[in-house]
Amino acid sequence: MASTQVTPTRMELTRLKRKLVTAVKGHRLLKDKRDELMRQFLDLVREDMELRQKVEQGIKSANRNFVLAKAGMSEETLRAALMAPKQEVILKQDKKNVMSVDIPVFDYETRTADENDIYSYGFAFTSSDLDGAVKSLSDVFPDMLKLAEIEKSCQLMAAEIEKTRRRVNALEHVIIPETQEGIRYITMKLDENERSTQVRLMKVKDMMLEEAHRYSEK
């Protein structure tokens, strides 16, 4: 893997050695991070799936109730009944840091404390089915909010896991082997240089002795 040009100097060797130490340390840390994130993600995603199925079931039955309610009264009455809601939901968002991933924590507050304020209409002109429908939807709402929180966390964590996995792989399969290769190349080159200096010195010594004593003429 001599794709990257390395200059065979002692300075470069020290630099590469230092780089290798950092890379190995980083690799170990990132691997730990990936494993821990994965563990938490798997728990969370299982919860997410369960909650989603529950919420979808809840919304489905609420929708069925609404269709029934709609059948029992005219379209105009229905629209008028739900036109001006009394209740308002205020969402409070906080964030939690899990392995350097910010995940949201949702909490909500309703404008009025009275839970009967979800019925924004008089009972004279609407069918009782509508009350039931609104109630069933309001029952499923806390779960919906929890689902939002968990599902968003899952998405964010999945993105972070993917990123971390890429980094771990890049370090493990590219950066670390390349650096090791570089270190090997420089060590060999330096050794080679040293040997060649040695040989040159021996040769020079031979020549000087020859000059002084004239061995070959004797």
Partner 1 sequence: MYKIAVMGDYDSIYGFASLGLTTFPVETGTDPEEAAKKLHSIAESGYGVIYMTESLAALLEKEIARYADKLMPAVILIPGVRGNTGAGVAHVKKSVEQAVGSDILFSDNN
Using rule CB under 8 A, residue 210 touches partner 1 = no
Contact criterion met (CB below 8 Å) for 12 and 135: no
Comparison of 24 and 45: residue with beta carbon closer to partner 1: 45
39, 60, 195, 203: which one binds partner 1 (CB under 8 A): 60
- Verify binding: residue 157, partner 1, rule CB under 8 A: yes
Q: Which of residues 130-149 bind partner 1 (CB under 8 A)?
A: 133-134, 137-138, 141, 144-145, 147-149
Tell me the β-bridge partners of 95. Answer: 104
Nearest distance in Å: CB 85, partner 1: 5
Q: Tell me the C-alpha distance between 53 and 147, whole Å.
A: 10
Q: Which of 20, 98, 156, 176 binds partner 1 (CB under 8 A)?
A: 156
Q: How many binding residues for partner 1 (CB under 8 A)?
A: 60
Q: Is 120 in the site for partner 1 (CB under 8 A)?
A: yes
The residue within the footprint of partner 1, chosen from 79, 100, 215, 217 (CB under 8 A), is 79
d(CA 158, CA 42): 10
39 is a contact residue toward partner 1 (CB under 8 A): no
Closest distance to partner 1 from the beta carbon of 94 (Å): 11
Residues contributing to the site for partner 1 (CB under 8 A): 38, 41-42, 45-46, 48-49, 52-53, 55-56, 59-60, 62-63, 66-67, 78-79, 82-83, 85, 87-93, 95, 102, 104, 106, 108, 110-111, 118-120, 133-134, 137-138, 141, 144-145, 147-149, 151-152, 154-159, 161-162, 165
